[in-house]
Amino acid sequence: MNIPALITGSIVIIVFSWFYSVKGKRYHGIPRLFAFESILILVLLNITHWFSTPFSWNQIISLILLALSAWVGIAGYVTLYRKGKAEGDFENTTVLVRSGVYGIIRHPLYLSLLLIGTSIMMIKLTLPSIIAGLANLIALGVTAYIEEKEMVEKFGQQYRDYMKETKMFIPFIL
């Protein structure tokens, strides 16, 4: 593994997490830091295998998940940016967004990160990749759980009702 890249990437992730979440008392940024870190580790573990066998089953699944991740992430970001009426950075919305992809799931941006991590893990299934992929899954689950508490505190009953109407990550399932 490229240790200088790991150290540099980790510093960037820590700074990002501090300025965009923790400093603003949005503590879901702490476990999200671990999700970003696990994705960085997955990239560093698998970068040399990215296109080594482009038509193998795991590479095809990886590319499908990557494309789905891009679609969900872009749709979630654009909807949140346009409808959330953020104060400061886009994460600090003043309006509960319930349209677009947010009408189906509550955390499309976290789903996008989960799909990215799973996509990269699928490139070459090794024990370290699977462990990093599971760490990503757990970190994003914890992130969403903490953020939901923050959203209930911010939006009250309106968010509780939204939680009853939508699923966390996978439409109609989870």
Number of structural domains (the chain) is: 1
H/E stretch holding 15? helix 3-17
In a domain, 174, yes or no: no
Residue 171 lies in a domain: no
Residue 172: inside a domain: no
Interatomic CA distance for residues 86 and 95, integer angstroms: 8
In angstroms, the CA 66 to CA 113 distance is 10
| Residue 35 burial class via C-beta count within 10 angstroms: exposed 0-12, middle 13-18, buried 19 and up | buried
How does pLDDT run across 71-95, given as a tens digit for each residue? 999 999 999 989 888 777 767 788 9
**pLDDT mean across residues, the chain:** 91
As given in the structure block, the two tokens for residue 20 are 């965009």
Name the residue range of residue 74's domain. Answer: 3-165
pLDDT band for 151, please (50, 70, 90 cuts). very high
Please tell me the pTM assigned to this model: 0.90
Q: Residue 174: which pLDDT band, with cuts at 50, 70 and 90?
A: low
What's the gap between Cα 6 and its chain centre?
19
pLDDT beyond 80 at 69: yes
Cα–Cα distance for residue pair 2/7, rounded to 1 Å: 9
Element (H, E) at 118: helix 108-123
81 vs 25 pLDDT, higher one: 81
pLDDT digits (tens, 9 = 90+) for 103-123: 999 999 999 999 999 999 999
Tell me the C-alpha distance between 95 and 155, whole Å.
8
**Considering the domain boundaries, does residue 147 fall inside one?**
yes
Determine, yes or no, domain membership for 173: no
Crossing angle for the helix pair 108-123 and 57-83, to the nearest 10 degrees = 160
